[in-house]
Structure 1
Amino acid sequence: MRKVLSVLPRPVVAVICDRIRYFEHPVHAVPETYLRALHESADVMPLLMPVSPEMLDLSTLLATVDGVMLPGSPSNVAAERYGAEPLPEHTLKDEYRDATVFALLPQLIAQGIPLLAICRGFQELNVFFGGTLNRAVHERPDALDHREGDHDRPLTCWYEDRHIVELTPGGLLASLADTTTPRVNSLHHQGVETLGKGLHTEARAPDGLVEAFTAPDAPGFLLGLQWHPEMSLCHSPFARQIFTRYGDACRQRQQSRLLSGENNNEFEAHCAISV
């Protein structure tokens, strides 16, 4: 007799890398803070995804992962992606990440893969949906300075809470917070200029800058955040709830994937125990 138990492995979340140089070698890398946040607060298993379209097989990716994260980065989305003049030569860019992300997003979104996008990832999603970016938001009249400040300070000081965000009533983030104006960190010089088509504002900074959005018409979970909740888990229940909610979306995707007809054998292999 075989007893089937509802025991599933952790969902798998692919985390897009940056392409950097390490001892003159090209390296695909992600800061550990994102990986720990996914592991500890979303209860998923993170895997690094190289920024190399030729290395990625889309059908394999869609059949394997239960979520995708687009993390932050010091690099900037190429301005040509949203029809603006090229960024100054000294600006840090990552053409490999741009090429990979913008090639994958159409199918990731169409297939309902849960997406969590932070900082650069937030900006990538806005551009993908047809929005534009302001490359120096601190220069707007009456704007806050959203940059991280003096780099000579200890790194932890960069991520201190800097300002409130005003959550949209009835939105996803409003359902996760115990206040309508949680405090968040701020480490960006670029930001949303025009919001992409189909995106719904979830939070704004006091100066009106869009700080978070969802895509209500997308078939799966999609949340973009300009701030860095992964750096606030130790003191912010709101930050932890964001990752928990994302993990729940990935578990729902996993169950749907494993229960689908083409994956029934895989599901049984995971869940069946003979007694």
Structure 2
Amino acid sequence: MARPVVGIISNSHLLNDQYPAHAGAAINSVAVAHVADCLPLLIPSDPSLVGVEELLEACDGFLLTGGRPNVHPEEYGEEETPAHGSFDRSRDAVTLPLIRACVERGQPFLGVCRGFQEVNVAMGGTLHPEIRDLPGRDNHRMPPDGTLEEKFALRHKVTFTEGGPFHRLMGTREVMTNTLHGQGIKRPGPRIVVDGIAPDGTPEAIHVRGAAGFTLSVQWHPEWNAANDPVSRPLFQAFGAAVHAWAARDLRALRRA
């Protein structure tokens, strides 16, 4: 039987300074295929090419990936400043309504880094443009130098809420994660539950209160070494199980038709 499909949100790039491309990191596809046991499908983040309704029908779940451009502050009612960095309004136009539709339908998604921030904004929350500029906060950005292994190295603890979904999934309240982000949650959306925090108080793990489907999202990058990392593996396995369950539900509906 064919594996269920996970739509992987791509990012826009300019290859060789002139060739527009939609691309996704290979580690995203590897995590989806080998750990979640689903078929990875790269989605162009351009509303002129894809529509939310057809994505919901074509895919069983979604991986909301990280990316260098940030969610535009107009999406959460604030003005653009230099601290907000670069943007991708086309991706905003695809992912934000997609997230809200998934929550309403109970269709599973996993948010990662920018995807984590998109979930908060889609559900009515706001973002800090630069975490490291806040009093008492650490620099959560990617180290500028070193190998990929050094950049994705485990750098700080995340503490989960006692008895929360991340605690139950991981079997422990404290884990070590990488950190490669500049922005972060300022005000959680009304239905956003902050279920894990870094030592400096930065939200690191969330889910959507009352959602029928899988909505776990993290500020770190679990796709790195997902098959071997004791934190990443159960997260992608749980996401995969939710996607398989959604696909089986759709298949049962088709058989009844």
Q: TM-score range by the shorter chain?
A: over 0.9
The SS at the match of 2:186 is strand
> For 2:169, which of 176, 179, 192 is the aligned residue?
176
TM-score, with structure 2 as normaliser: 0.94
Q: Which residue number in structure 1 is paired with residue 106 of structure 2?
A: 112
Q: 1:137 maps to what in 2? A: 131
Residues 124/58 of structure 1: CA separation in 2 closer, same or farther (3 Å cut): closer
Whole-Å Cα distance in 2 between the matches of residues 80 and 59 of structure 1?
Answer: 24
Structure 2 stretches lacking a partner, 5+ long? none
Q: How many residues end up aligned between the 2 structures?
A: 256
Which stretch of the first structure deviates more once superposed, 63-72 or 103-112? 103-112
Gaps of 5+ in 1: 1-7, 267-275
Q: Does 1:186 align with 2:182?
A: no
Larger Rg: 1
Q: Secondary structure at the match of 1:189?
A: coil
Equivalent pair of 1:114/1:221 in contact (CA under 8 Å): yes
Secondary structure at the aligned position of 2:242 is classed as helix
**Partner residue in 2 for 1:46:** 40
Among 159, 162, 185, the alignment partner of 1:166 is 159
Runs of 4+ in 1 over 6 A off after TM superposition: none
Deviation of the 1:38 alpha carbon: 0.6
TM-score in terms of structure 1 length: 0.88
Aligned ranges 1:256-275 → 2 under 5 Å: 256-260=249-253, 263-264=254-255
Q: Which residue of 2 aligns with 1:75?
A: 69
Give the CA deviation at 1:152.
2.5
Helix, strand or coil at the partner of 1:116: strand
Q: 1:136–1:61: structure 2 CA closer, same or farther, 3 Å change rule? A: closer
Q: How many Å separate the matches in 1 of 2:58 and 2:48?
A: 17
Cα deviation, residue 51, structure 1: 1.3
Q: Where do 1:189-208 residues align within 5 Å?
A: 189-208=182-201
Contact 2:112 2:219 in 1 (8 A): yes
Question: Is the 2:71–2:88 Cα contact (8 Å) retained in structure 1?
Answer: yes
Identity of aligned residues (%): 35
Distance 1:57 1:125 in 2: 18
Asked if the contact 1:198–1:215 (Cα under 8 Å) also holds between the matched residues in 2, the reply is yes
Kept in 1, the 8 Å contact 2:52–2:97? The answer is: no
Query: Which digits, 9 at most, give the CA deviation of each residue in 1:192-213, with x for residues without a partner?
Result: 1111111111100111111010
- The Cα of 1:141 is off from its aligned counterpart by 1.6
| RMSD across aligned positions (CA) | 1.8
